[in-house]
Amino acid sequence: MSVFNDGNHLNIYIVLGSIVLLAIIVFVRYLVFSSLYHLVFFNWFKTRFVNRFLHNKPWKKKQLKKEILWSMISGFIFALFIMLTFILNIEGYTAVYTELDEYPIWYLFVSIILVLFLQDTYYYWVHRWMHLPKIYKYFHLVHHKSIHTSVFTAFSFHPLETVLQALVIPILAILVPLHLYAIIAIITLMTISATINHAGVEVYPSGRFGAWFKKWVIGATHHDVHHKKFNYNYGLYFTFWDRWMKTEHQK
Ligand SMILES: [Zn+2]
Ligand SMILES: [Zn+2]
């Protein structure tokens, strides 16, 4: 018995209401984070680090509108899958745990890295599949309509692509024991990474540490090449797969 389930069947009104509420939360998270990132970083870098901008093209209103509209739909699809995961959790099908001492504390950090690695691996191969000519226009074209990306491109996907992305949420929740703190950290990292990669401005540090970091972690420059050159740099968070599969652009 739970608020979603009266013992015999799911309370459909509470489930639907929760999906709408979740969709609003997911969408507002994207809008607020993207806007703040643009206001803080973009403007701050504009006056200090001109050479870090990947293009000088002003935003096109039409492109922004489309990106925000597709992102609204993405928010709804993610909400559906979060709700599904929530119900699976209530019914006892997930490995999500609530007490911190159920696993050693180091596992909390390992679980975050493990999920990022699994998600990165999944996305790399799904991404390459979506670039196959027959698949591309149905799944992935919407995201690539933005050649000069903006912070609002971060969540702009065709619904079919969004389904493929959101599918990992219940799968990972079933397979990997995750604490709520780890889930919050993963969602935060997902949001930050997607925004950084599309903002059109390189924010990672320069110098030796920056060079090492950029060698392994995908940032704006790396993903910008994907939007411009198309057949390189398919990764999501890390460069491993692009390097191993020789799909990393040499510049
Ligand atoms: Zn692509
Ligand atoms: Zn992209």
Model pLDDT for residues 122-160, shown as the tens digit of each residue: 999 999 999 999 999 999 999 999 999 999 999 999 999
Task: Kindly give the distance from the C-alpha atom of residue 99 to the centroid of ligand 2, in angstroms, as a whole number.
Answer: 36
The pLDDT score that the predictor gives to residue 137 is 96
Give yes or no for a contact between 134 and 200, defined as CB atoms under 8 angstroms apart.
no
Task: Kindly give the distance from the C-alpha atom of residue 140 to the centroid of ligand 2, in angstroms, as a whole number.
Answer: 10
Phi then psi for 97, rounded to 5 degrees? -120, 155
The pLDDT score that the predictor gives to residue 56 is 75
CA–CA separation, 250 and 247 (whole Å): 9
How many CA atoms within 13 Å lie on the side-chain side of 182? 26
Q: State the ligand closest to the CA atom of 224.
A: 2
CA–CA separation, 162 and 148 (whole Å): 21
Task: Kindly give the distance from the C-alpha atom of residue 136 to the centroid of ligand 2, in angstroms, as a whole number.
Answer: 14
CA–CA separation, 222 and 211 (whole Å): 12
Calculate what percentage of the chain has a pLDDT beyond 90.
82
Average pLDDT over residues 18-47: 91
Whether pLDDT at 55 is above 70: yes
What amino acid occupies position 58?
Answer: P
Phi then psi for 93, rounded to 5 degrees? -95, -5
Q: State the ligand closest to the CA atom of 157.
A: 2
CA-to-CA dists, residue 1 to 5, 10, 11, 87, 173, angstroms: 5, 10, 11, 12, 21
Task: Kindly give the distance from the C-alpha atom of residue 7 to the centroid of ligand 2, in angstroms, as a whole number.
Answer: 44
Per residue in 165-219, pLDDT tens? 999 999 999 999 999 999 999 999 999 999 999 998 898 988 899 999 999 999 9
The pLDDT score that the predictor gives to residue 4 is 67
pTM of the model: 0.91
Q: Where are the beta strands (DSSP E) in the chain?
A: none
The pLDDT score that the predictor gives to residue 2 is 63
Task: Kindly give the distance from the C-alpha atom of residue 108 to the centroid of ligand 1, in angstroms, as a whole number.
Answer: 31
Whether pLDDT at 7 is above 80: no
Per residue in 156-168, pLDDT tens? 999 999 999 999 9
Mean pLDDT, the chain, as a whole number?
93
Task: Kindly give the distance from the C-alpha atom of residue 198 to the centroid of ligand 2, in angstroms, as a whole number.
Answer: 6
CA–CA separation, 158 and 214 (whole Å): 29
Q: State the ligand closest to the CA atom of 195.
A: 2
Among residues 227, 218, 53, 55, which one has the least CA distance to residue 145?
Answer: 227
Task: Kindly give the distance from the C-alpha atom of residue 137 to the centroid of ligand 1, in angstroms, as a whole number.
Answer: 11
Calculate what percentage of the chain has a pLDDT beyond 70.
96
Chain mean position to CA 92: 26
Whether pLDDT at 89 is above 90: yes
Whether pLDDT at 1 is above 60: no
